[in-house]
Amino acid sequence: MKFQAPRGTYDILPDEAHKWHYLEKIIRKNAKFFDYKEIRFPIFERLELFQRGVGKSTDIVEKEMYVFKDKKGRNFALRPEGTASIVRAYIEHNMNSSQKNPLRLFYFGPMFRYARPQKGRYRQFYQFGFEYIGNPEPIADAEIIAIGWKIYQDMKIPNVNLELNSVGCVNCRRKYYKELKKFLIRKRGNFCSVCQKRMNSNPMRTFDCKNKNCQNLLNNAPIMLENLCPECESHFQKVLDLLNQMNVKYNVNSKIVRGLDYYTRTAFEYKIEYLGAQDAIGGGGRYDELIEYLGGKSTPAVGLSGGLERIILSLNEAKIDIQNEESLDVFIIPLEEKFVKISIEIMQKLHKKSISSIISDSQTSLKNNLKYCDENRVKFAIIIGENEIKSKEFTIKNINEKSQKKIPTNEVCEYIFIQLKNN
């Protein structure tokens, strides 16, 4: 029987892993700039957490979660997103009092959704996220949005468009929903079955439909931005003013509502046109009511998340070459098996100096070993043969410069250490 990776999953092979390291390095750098601390949480949680946190009417909960029972018959789900788990951890560990407030957190990790696999969309996908918990002011929204913007700029993703909207609060949405429902019901029969269902449960999410016909029907629909209460309107305008001060470019798009039920006020997405239907590479918003809804104290919060697969896809589509900066420092080449012992001693000394090094197969020819160094961007090769042992001088080849030197045996490690430090 021939085994293959499950549909909608894939392997990250060694010649691709450096791209992921490149992205993670940029994300961690920006987390440090803004003083966000890493949090890691379980891959599976109680099903009820996502049902309550994400929203029962969302596509994620209704159709896309991987759900299973444990041996005691309890319902669990593989995590489809990160915010609900962070809120659960925040409440469980009483982080509002045990950590500095407001709290800044970030995370990496795989998420799982049972969706139809397509370009840029997988059933196991990797996501990063930033959460700013405890600050109700517009500066928190602007900071989170600016972090995402800076990360994508640092990754050199071309033509990223930031789109913002305000989805209001409970008070202004109550009146708006009545007005929007009236509009939708008049055209109910022309909408897709999903939108018809959403008209009752969460009418604003009809704006999130990917069906072009539905989008055309919504062209003259009432929008939330024209129905905001004074507090929400003021909050949104301050967010825009702050982004202007931060030199973050954006467009206001009244159709941005995001696919999760917990958002309040600010909602945003980062998009690129050249990915087709899967054009969003990240997004987020404010979720002031979620922590209280899941059993904690009323606490304002705002966050963002981004999909690493779509980022890599966008870089590939734009033909942005990510160089592999990780290469072996030293390749030790014993010309005969009897020289393996001393090769091991040298390797261990190099490791103590934090210099990466491995030993070649003594049965492989010198020519092929040097060819390996060229093809794999090895920095130095140490050649150990009969002449080197007799003279007590090892041959050190600088692979990049195509040069070589004889260095006394007891000075080899220090010589390579200095060369690497200077380069």
pTM for the full predicted model:
0.86
pLDDT in tens, 305-320: 999 999 998 888 888 8
Provide CATH code, domain 14-169+229-317: 3.30.930.10
Query: Strands, E, within 16-175: which ranges?
Result: 37-38, 44-46, 67-69, 75-78, 103-112, 124-133, 161-166
pLDDT at 277 over 70: no
Burial class (CB in 10 A: 0-12, 13-18, 19+), 259: middle
Contact present, 238 and 199 (Cβ < 8 Å): no
Average the pLDDT over 70-78 and give the result: 94
Roughly what angle, to the nearest 10 degrees, separates helices 230-245 and 138-154? 40
Ordered by start, the domain boundaries in the chain are 14-169+229-317, 330-422
pLDDT at 416: 92
- Residue 143 contacts by C-beta under 8 Å, 6 or more apart in sequence? 34, 132
pLDDT at 32 over 70: yes
pLDDT at 378 over 90: yes
Q: Show the CA angle centred on residue 161, arms to residues 33 and 206, nearest 5°.
A: 115
| Edge-to-edge order in the sheet of strand 380-384 | 357-359, 330-334, 380-384, 393-398, 403-408
pLDDT in tens, 114-137: 988 887 788 999 999 999 999 999
Q: Does residue 59 sit in helix, strand or coil?
A: helix
Roughly what angle, to the nearest 10 degrees, separates helices 14-33 and 308-317? 110
pLDDT at 287 over 60: yes
Domain 330-422, CATH class in plain words: alpha beta
Q: Strand pairing of 301-307 and 280-286?
A: antiparallel
pLDDT at 245: 96
Closest of 313, 292, 314, 310 to residue 301, by C-alpha:
292
The 3-state DSSP composition of the chain as helix, strand, coil percent (nearest 5) reads 45, 20, 35
Contact present, 282 and 271 (Cβ < 8 Å): no
Burial class (CB in 10 A: 0-12, 13-18, 19+), 14: exposed
pLDDT at 98 over 70: no
From first CA to last CA, the distance across the chain in angstroms is 50
Amino acid at the residue 146: A
